[in-house]
Structure 1
Amino acid sequence: MMKRITLAAALLLGFAASPAQPRAEDEALVTFRSLSPSVALDLARAVLDSCHHKGFQVAVAVVDRFGTPQVMLRDQFAGPHTPDTATAKAWTAISFRSDTLKLAASTAGDQPQSGARFIAGAVMLGGGLPVEAGGSIVGGVGVSGGPSGEADDACARTGIAAVEDKLF
């Protein structure tokens, strides 16, 4: 019995004395993944084609994982407000790590999160989606100009599906 206690104590001391593994937040440098410009352009084209095929004149924005615009495409008859709105939807999606269609519902006036609608630059309308690869957000896409947020959202989802094989 004494041998077991001594062995258990030695094991515990060994674990306590071993150097701790560095935590990610203690490291001096971090690495991350982000959309390449060519994939961002392919994504924007696929979204624009999806909306155009449905008869919608839209603007499509693709932002990197930090919300900085990478690509902006605007159909010839899309409204003048659509480029800014598409960019804001993409930024909102990556900032809140959620699609803006869900955010529109969860931030409605009667919801506890309704104050999020007052954050500068946030647009709580459907059509913004984070783009994920390997469990990480690598960018975002925003669409503006369709007949509804649901229509913008559907075009964005079709575009992401078109480039999904490139996100690995």
Structure 2
Amino acid sequence: MRGYSLPSLAFASSLIAAPACAQAPLTEKNVSMGLSLAIIQGALDQCTKDGYKVSVVIVDKSGNVAASVRGDGTPPHTLEFARLKAYTARTRNQTSLATMKQMDDPAFAFLRQIPNVVGVGGGVPIRAGNEVIGGVGVSGAPGGEKDEVCANAGLAKVADALK
């Protein structure tokens, strides 16, 4: 056979003979649209009750936006900042407030170099049991701690579905 060496043919035949389990699709938990909308509504309800105009973003397991709402009367930056907070919570598997505290530690200075990771409160991971399947980010309240209260209120609304 021209152009093919014996080792390359052996490798190609080993790929064809790979076990069937390697071809099975992945099954994983992720946020759904209904879950996203319920979390958003719970967060908006809490912030409205507290007198804050906010934007809320949900990211999925991969860190991509699953749903977002720019609240009435909010500045344009709140939607993007909410996304960054949600992304931070998802990728760091902790609140963005906890990430903010880590960034003060010189041992975690590398966190400042990770694109789209922010150190400010308002982002909370979405967990199905112990597995992080997304993140919720809230922006617009006067302080990240207040944004985080609203994010947690949204998660409380769907707590039974996440058990």
TM-score by length of 1: 0.80
Amino acid at match of 2:53: Q
**Which SS does the other structure have where 1:39 is aligned?**
helix
Kept after mapping to 2: 8 A contact 1:48/1:73? no
* Residue 117 (structure 1) aligned with residue 104 (structure 2): no
Aligned to 1:152: 147
Aligned to 2:78: 82
Selected match of 1:32 from 28, 35, 44:
28
Amino acid at match of 2:137: G
Aligned to 1:58: 54
Kept after mapping to 2: 8 A contact 1:92/1:128? yes
CA distance in 2, matches of 1:30, 1:159: 29
CA distance in 1, matches of 2:46, 2:131: 25
* Residue 127 (structure 1) aligned with residue 127 (structure 2): no
Sequence identity, in percent?
35
Residue 27 (structure 1) shift: 4.6
Deviation track 1:121-158 (CA, whole Å, cap 9, x = no partner) reads: 11111000111012111211001111111001111111
Kept after mapping to 2: 8 A contact 1:101/1:124? yes
* The structure with more radius of gyration: 1
Q: Which structure 1 residue ranges, 4+ long, deviate > 2 Å from structure 2? A: 26-30
Amino acid at match of 2:28: F
* Residue 73 (structure 1) aligned with residue 57 (structure 2): no
Aligned to 2:93: 97
Deviation track 1:77-127 (CA, whole Å, cap 9, x = no partner) reads: 11110000101110111111111111101112x431023122211111100
TM-score by length of 2: 0.82
Amino acid at match of 1:127: G
The aligned length equals 142
Long gaps (5+) in structure 1: 1-25
Aligned to 1:136: 131
Amino acid at match of 1:88: L
* Residue 165 (structure 1) aligned with residue 151 (structure 2): no
Residue 165 (structure 1) shift: 1.3
CA distance in 1, matches of 2:22, 2:133: 21
Long gaps (5+) in structure 2: 1-20
